[in-house]
Amino acid sequence: MMAAWLHPALLLGLGALPLAVLQGRARQVWQLALPALVLLSVIGIESGTRVSLEMAGLELVPLRADGLSLVFAYIFALVLFIGNIFALKVDDGAQHVAAALYAAAALGAVFAGDLVTLYIFWEIMVVASVWLIWRRQNRTAYEAGFRYLIVHALGGMLLFAGVIAYYLTTGSLAFEPLQDGGMAFYLILIAFLINAAAPPLHAWLPDAYPEATVTGTVFLSAFTTKTAVYVLARGFPGTELLVWLGVGMTLYGVTYAFLVNDIRRLLAYHIISQVGYMVAGVGIGTQLAISGTAAHAFTHILYKALLLMGAGAVLQMTGRSKLTELGGLYRTMPVTFLLYMVGGLSISAFPLFSGFVSKTIIVEAAAVDGRGIIFLLMMLAGVGTFLSTTLKLPYFTFLGPDSGLRPPEAPLNMRVAMGIAALLCFAIGIMPGLLYAILPYAIDYNAYTASHLLKEMQLLLFTGLAFFLLVRFLGGKDKLSLDFDWFYRVAGKRLMLAVRDMISEANQDIRREFMRAFGRLEKAACELRLSGWPVRSWAIGSMALWTAVVLAILLVFGLGG
Amino acid sequence: MNITEIMPFIVLIPLLAGPVCVLLPGRGLPWLLATISASAAFILAALTLGSVFEGETLRYAFGDWPPPIGIEYRVDAANAFVALLITGVAAILLPWAKPLVDEEIPERQGSFYALFLIALAGLLGITLTGDVFNVFVFLEISSLATYGLIAHGKDRRALLAAFRYLIMGTVGATFLLIGIAFIYILTGSLNMVDLAERLPALGDSRALQVGLGFIVVGLAIKLALFPLHHWLPNAYTYAPTLITTFLAATATKVALYVMLRFIFDVFGPQYSFTALPLAAVFMALAIAGMFAGSWMAIFQRNIKRMLAYSSVAQVGYMVLGVSLLSLAGLTAAFLHLFNHGLMKAALFASVGLIAYQAGSLRIDDLRGIGRQMPWTLTAFALAGVSLIGVPPTAGFISKWYLIGAAVEADQLWLVALILITSLMALIYIARIVEVAWLQPRPDDAPAVNEASWLLLLPVWILVAANFYFGLDTRLTVGAASAAAQALTGGALEGLLP
């Protein structure tokens, strides 16, 4: 049992600081001990715990633990542990500190019982996570990180404005389901959706995640979008808009995943797709759907971490991450290949693997709720997921046409990390009761009924068949797929420069016209007194001009009115 | 001695110490005297604020000549708050700046510190006085001293910057004088309280309107309200480090305060905002300033100049708060006045250390310097975080109240504009962080050492203050709302159409 004042986020945040200075073996020990401690402290929190304090006249609730927040807290602590095993050999203190602070902020966000606390952790999350991208230390990563920072700063500010509006309209800061309508509702919703990477606000995710460091992507995939799922489930359950948005995300992610060539970008698009299921689950809003969302977030974090660790291991060992440049790696990286496949089978909801026991809850919830179209579209997205993550990516990376690469197997710590994640995926798949026991609402759901199995297997087997028939058309193409990020990458920059030029031109025109009358006098004075500084004297003239303009405006409008 | 009798010494101590300073030889003594007198003034200002926090007004008549005939000092929460900021910044900066001043002004430091003290006394005099002509006199005193201080900059361009500021400052002061002359002719009085009683009787006088216009525009120049800000970037860029830091934290704030004093106290908001379209003009100029300042800051190549343009944008926030014409907006303006002083002091001070150690302020020359001066650049980044308005910093509190005021006034589009300009602040701060930390140090760049801890400590105290006032807002928010309350007397309701 932990003391009430020792918030897990505080423990982790303070514990992160020594990572900056520790070296060698000592750092590795602390890297493993710290997440373990945090995991213990999270497990020690009982459902219903609530700590509140009074600050600056506001009642803040830094710790509010209930079924929903605890599921997310467990998995966050768990994935931090696994991710740190994966990153054990990385000799870069900044990355470890950033990862730990990032996880601490994510924990703080899911435990936040009021909107101000949530906002504060929300911002810390952004500031900490961007270093996981920047520490890749190349130009592309820097620019992608900067765009990531800007998008999330914008989201944070929307959240901030929303929180203020909420406080002014309701007089309360408690983080409970929000009432429909009103500015606060939409501001906060949009801020959450930016973090959930819902199109068209998603472009930051496939833009930035593939550019992050090998180990950083694992953390990134776990925390930001899943925190967003949590806050949506907390604040917006049953919002109809989210159902359609979520289904749209599942299909959008799958479609774009099909078009890209970079393995980590492909997996990043699948994050959008999988988060789509969760968002749709939140939108359906029944107890079954919310539980399904939490369960799917739990399993998703595990198998997505596993997949990204697999892709990261390939990138680490070969230095390449494009489908067109890889192939035939199973010869020398069999363990990585097999573990990756566990993740692949999990994400495609293959029976006996974790995705099957969680995704089907959401699909079932849609069916129970009488939403036929939603149900069908979700099934369709499942096909696409299987096709690209489980068949196409491993085929062209590990099997398929031989690229001639013969990298050694991934280091032991990476294999151990992947092994643990794979083991958990498998364990949840065969013993779903373990997962169902910690869900926010007790559910009466059995994944292994004949109809579920039959339905899922039919889909997957036919998809598999189709893949092997059409495999030669499906290879990655070495090209760029343009997504919404074009707007802020290129159009934004052009707009900024154009506006700047326009303004300076207009300013100069006005000044020139006005000054022409005084030209001669001005020139004589310049040459006489300030020869050598003609440029500056113009500016003094324009300063005086503006003074006169402001006075004139005030008086003309004041006296005329 | 009660507090009313020692209150005038806030101004008198630096004013009297200044001339003594000129006579002191060497480098140590003038500095010591300046530091001691600034600290003494700081303590007195803190005591004064403590005694007016609950809404009292202290009045002290000079030479026992009763106002409105004599000059009186009149202190309420509004000016005590500003005086605390000015003296506090001076008291922290002076001990810190000694090595920097030694390097930048190797000779005749006596006159330098004397000018500094006189500028300080001038700013404090503007703040505390209850007499409009006295405002003009102190404004000229502080301005003349400031021109001299800016001209002390090492770069020869400092001379021209000072000259440009001199022209603009004189235009501003002249406008103020013309305005004061108008109201003096109309009423025959110069005392603020007395004027506040007499002016309403004049009713719809054209002369009074014109007088108000001149006063507002004259002070808007000193305030660097867009588009009257052109003097500011060069003056801040080329002045000695101590002066830039001090002016950025205090000078524009004093001008804002005294403008508010005229608008709200002397003329009364009822008159000011109906006689001239002040609310609309302020809002338009504030927004233009927020955008233009941030925009220019993004494109600067000199880090000091970048911060100077950022100041233009920040002044926009304060004036925006005023233009909302509500108690909440005015509170936000006062709060930002104080908080912005804190963040800009921290930012300019850390930039001063960079200049001192690396000898260059061009952003291109700062590549990879984060590794060589980690503590300085971390301080810069943290103060920048406050400037952007991320919790838990003082800047966050400012934004919180400003956005709250905009929402309360039902001006939601303003919220969007505030957020966009905050993003622009993020861009120019993150750009420095990127250059300093993420770019490699060029091979031919000179090696740079971290500043000594004696220089770092005050900078970090300022950074810590930014975080402290982001968490404990009792002093700042309390004083700001008391200040807003004191200026308006709660007479703002029903002003907006």
For position A533, what pLDDT does the model report?
36
Instruction: Say how far apart CA A249 and CA A549 lie, in whole Å.
Output: 53
Please give the full DSSP string across A257-288, using - where no structure is assigned.
Answer: HHH--BHHHHHHHHHHHHHHHHHHHHHH-SHH
| Separation in Å, CA of A350 to nearest CA in chain B | 44
The structure tokens listed for B355 are 């200049």
Task: Say which DSSP state A322 is in.
Answer: B
The structure tokens listed for A302 are 């595990």
pTM for this prediction: 0.69
Task: Say which DSSP state B302 is in.
Answer: B
Q: Are A47 and A71 in contact (CB under 8 A)?
A: no
B284 touches chain A (CB under 8 A): no
Residue B171 domain flag: no
Region A318-341 average pLDDT: 84
Cis preceding linkage at B227, omega within 30:
yes
Is B399 close to A160, i.e. CB distance below 8 A?
A: yes
The letter for the amino acid at A402 is D
Region B300-327 average pLDDT: 89
| Separation in Å, CA of A210 to nearest CA in chain B | 19
Instruction: Say how far apart CA A549 and CA A247 lie, in whole Å.
Output: 56
Minimum CA–CA partner of A157 in chain B: B419
For position A479, what pLDDT does the model report?
57
Buried b / exposed e over A381-411, threshold 16 CB at 10 Å, is bbbbbbbbbbbbbbbbbbebeebebebebbe
B392 touches chain A (CB under 8 A): yes
Point out the least confidently predicted range of A147-156, A238-247, B49-58. B49-58
Query: If we measure between CA atoms, which residue out of B20, B21, B242 comes closest to residue B110?
Result: B21
Name the most confidently modeled range: A365-369, B103-107, B289-293, B406-410: B289-293
3-state secondary structure string across A217-259: HHHHHHHHHHHHHHHHHHHCCCCHHHHHHHHHHHHHHHHHHHH
Q: How many other CB atoms are there within 10 angstroms of residue B239's CB atom?
A: 29
Region A342-349 average pLDDT: 87
A53 touches chain B (CB under 8 A): no
Q: Are B336 and B329 in contact (CB under 8 A)?
A: no
B374 touches chain A (CB under 8 A): no
Instruction: Say how far apart CA B66 and CA A362 lie, in whole Å.
Output: 82
Decide if the complex's ipTM is over 0.85: no
- The residue ranges of every structural domain in chain A are 1-236, 237-483, 485-560
Instruction: Say how far apart CA A176 and CA A274 lie, in whole Å.
Output: 25
Q: How many other CB atoms are there within 10 angstroms of residue A535's CB atom?
A: 9
In this complex, the residue of B206, B277, B423 whose CB is nearest that of residue A150 is B423
Please give the full DSSP string across A380-414, using - where no structure is assigned.
Answer: HHHHHHIIIIIIIHHHHHTSSS-----PPPPPHHH
Residue to mutate among B418, B434, B435, with most A CBs inside 10 A, is: B434
Q: Are A233 and A68 in contact (CB under 8 A)?
A: yes
For position A47, what pLDDT does the model report?
82
For position A529, what pLDDT does the model report?
46
Q: A69 versus A454: which is more confidently predicted? A: A69
Q: Are A183 and A63 in contact (CB under 8 A)?
A: no
Q: B288 versus A405: which is more confidently predicted? A: B288
For position B317, what pLDDT does the model report?
93
A431's CB contacts (< 8 A; 6+ apart) are: none
pLDDT tens string B420-430: 888 889 888 98
The structure tokens listed for A89 are 């050999």
For position A54, what pLDDT does the model report?
72
Instruction: Say how far apart CA B61 and CA B64 lie, in whole Å.
Output: 5
Beta strands A50-55 and B72-75, pairing class: unpaired
Minimum CA–CA partner of A147 in chain B: B427
Please give the full DSSP string across A109-141, using - where no structure is assigned.
Answer: HHH--BHHHHHHHHHHHHHHHHHHHHTT-SHHH
**Average predicted confidence (pLDDT) for chain B:** 86
Instruction: Say how far apart CA B87 and CA B272 lie, in whole Å.
Output: 31
Instruction: Say how far apart CA B70 and CA B190 lie, in whole Å.
Output: 9
| Separation in Å, CA of B313 to nearest CA in chain A | 16
Residue to mutate among A55, A131, A160, with most B CBs inside 10 A, is: A160
In this complex, the residue of B164, B391, B407 whose CB is nearest that of residue A165 is B407
For position A496, what pLDDT does the model report?
66
Q: Is B156 helix (H, G, I), strand (E, B) or coil?
A: coil
Residue B177 domain flag: no
Residue B21 domain flag: no
A557 touches chain B (CB under 8 A): yes
Is A154 close to B434, i.e. CB distance below 8 A?
A: no
| Separation in Å, CA of B153 to nearest CA in chain A | 18
Domain assignment of residue B378, given as a range: 279-497
Could you give phi then psi for residue A57, rounded to 5 degrees?
A: 80, 0
Residue B375 domain flag: yes
Residue B364 domain flag: yes
The structure tokens listed for B25 are 């030889």
The structure tokens listed for B177 are 């004088």
For position A168, what pLDDT does the model report?
80
Instruction: For chain A, state the CA radius of gyration.
Output: 27
The letter for the amino acid at B485 is Q
B368 touches chain A (CB under 8 A): no
Task: Say which DSSP state B361 is in.
Answer: -
Residue B110 domain flag: no
The label of the residue with tokens 């060069």 reads B234
Q: How many CA atoms lie within 13 A of A561 on its CB side?
A: 13
For position B490, what pLDDT does the model report?
56
pLDDT tens string B234-254: 888 888 989 999 998 898 899
CA distance to A48, A270, A331, A339, per residue, from A399 (Å): 50, 21, 9, 14
Q: How many CA atoms lie within 13 A of B477 on its CB side?
A: 19
Residues linked to residue B129 through DSSP beta bridges, in sequence order = B73
For position A527, what pLDDT does the model report?
57
Region A92-120 average pLDDT: 89
- Residue B200 buriedness (CB in 10 A; 0-12 / 13-18 / 19+): exposed
The structure tokens listed for B303 are 């880090």
How many helices and strands, by DSSP H and E, does chain A display? 24, 2
pLDDT tens string A463-504: 887 777 776 666 555 555 666 666 666 666 677 677 667 666
Region A264-268 average pLDDT: 88
B156 touches chain A (CB under 8 A): no
Confidence check: pLDDT of A518 > 80: no
| Separation in Å, CA of B294 to nearest CA in chain A | 12
Confidence check: pLDDT of A509 > 80: no
Q: Are A357 and A424 in contact (CB under 8 A)?
A: no
Residue B328 domain flag: yes
| Separation in Å, CA of A316 to nearest CA in chain B | 22
Q: Are A86 and A70 in contact (CB under 8 A)?
A: no
Residues linked to residue A63 through DSSP beta bridges, in sequence order = A51
In this complex, the residue of A56, A546, A558 whose CB is nearest that of residue B209 is A558
Residues linked to residue B59 through DSSP beta bridges, in sequence order = B74
Place B279 in a pLDDT band, splitting at 50, 70 and 90.
confident
Q: Are B261 and B487 in contact (CB under 8 A)?
A: yes
A476's CB contacts (< 8 A; 6+ apart) are: A260, A261, A322, A323, A324, A392, A396
Please tell me the total count of domains within chain B.
Answer: 1
Helix orientation angle between A372-385 and A450-470, rounded to the nearest 10 degrees = 50
pLDDT tens string B74-120: 888 888 888 999 999 999 889 888 888 888 888 788 889 999 999 99
**Average predicted confidence (pLDDT) for chain A:** 82
- Residue B409 buriedness (CB in 10 A; 0-12 / 13-18 / 19+): middle
For position B228, what pLDDT does the model report?
85
Point out the least confidently predicted range of A24-33, A342-351, A515-524, B163-172. A515-524
Confidence check: pLDDT of A537 > 50: no
Confidence check: pLDDT of B47 > 70: yes
The structure tokens listed for B489 are 């007397």
Instruction: Say how far apart CA A459 and CA A211 lie, in whole Å.
Output: 33
Cis preceding linkage at A200, omega within 30:
yes
Instruction: Say how far apart CA A497 and CA B465 lie, in whole Å.
Output: 37
First to last CA, chain A: 72
Is A157 close to B422, i.e. CB distance below 8 A?
A: yes
Q: B203 versus B163: which is more confidently predicted? A: B163
Residue B100 domain flag: no
The letter for the amino acid at B474 is R
Q: Are A428 and A357 in contact (CB under 8 A)?
A: yes
Is B404 close to A120, i.e. CB distance below 8 A?
A: no
Minimum CA–CA partner of A120 in chain B: B391
Minimum CA–CA partner of B410 in chain A: A165
| Separation in Å, CA of A178 to nearest CA in chain B | 19
Q: Are B120 and B15 in contact (CB under 8 A)?
A: no
For position A52, what pLDDT does the model report?
80
**Above pLDDT 70, what percent of chain B?**
98
Is A168 close to B400, i.e. CB distance below 8 A?
A: no
